[in-house]
Amino acid sequence: MRLISENKCFGGTQGVYAHTAKSTGTEMTFGLFLPEDAQHGPVPVLWFLSGLTCTHENAMTKAGAQQYCADHGIAIVFPDTSPRGDIVANDEAYDLGQGAGFYLNATQTPWAAHFKMWDYIADELPALLAAEFPIDPERQSITGHSMGGHGALTLAMTLKGRYRSVSAFSPIANPTQSDWGRKQFTAYLGADESTWAAHDASVLMSEHGFDGDVLIDQGTSDQFVDLLKPESLAQAMMARRQSGQFRMQSGYDHSYFFISTFIADHIDFHAEALHR
């Protein structure tokens, strides 16, 4: 692991690091904010998974999360959204290939060689953080935006007991029924649609739910709402009587202005679970 940058931030430290990842076979970059409390012992950690076209940097610099994490003594990690580099397969479209890993393990050529983002987020990066930083692996929560909201929800509902709480901003909620999903799942996982359900938050909510509280925020003026299909997830939560909230926020769009408006609510929500 190598240090790319380190800055003092709200009494803590915002760092950016790179390491060679076995899961992807590439160098991966991530951001990690450690609050001042980390100087005195391990702190809980919140994962922020970003959306299409993003790197580790977008949420790190635009979401405004650090000040609220500092208040609660919580670390927050900002992983990249895909493997990158000259050896990594790519596509001319913004929603496939580099910057569009969809937080799954690809099985199809040419993506299978490096697109192992499920393994990277679920196993490799958590192990690295626990080994190298004052992070408490027993206290983790997860959130994300758009494609990252999809990733946060699917990871949380699949890895039972891993995360104490899960939230999402404008998640891709029903990708098996959306062009933001069907296109990518066909490319990454193949034409057999039976393999897709494990990466659909609405399906997982209907079948398994989450063993904790859920918070979803969706803007009513989101320009991508037809692709996100929030109604499918809301209906699944209601049918399952899932503990949590699904909030429609009037007039908000898909941007980081939306995220930064409600990020304090989400961190307060996670802090309550992480400090329980």
For the annotated catalytic residues, the residue numbers are: 146, 222, 254
User: Which residues on adjacent β-strands are paired with residue 208?
Assistant: none
Long-range CB contacts (within 8 A, 24+) of 16-25: 16/56, 16/57, 16/60, 19/128, 21/83, 21/120, 21/124, 21/125, 22/124, 23/116, 23/119, 23/120, 23/123, 23/124, 24/83, 24/114, 24/115, 24/116, 24/117, 24/120, 25/83, 25/87, 25/113, 25/114
Which amino acid is it at 238? M
Q: How far apart are CA 29 and CA 142, in angstroms?
A: 18
CB-based contact 77:177 (threshold 8 Å): no
**Tokens linked to 105:** 């393990």
Q: Containing H/E element for 175?
A: none
CB-based contact 273:266 (threshold 8 Å): no
Which amino acid is it at 116? K
Q: How far apart are CA 188 and CA 36, in angstroms?
A: 41
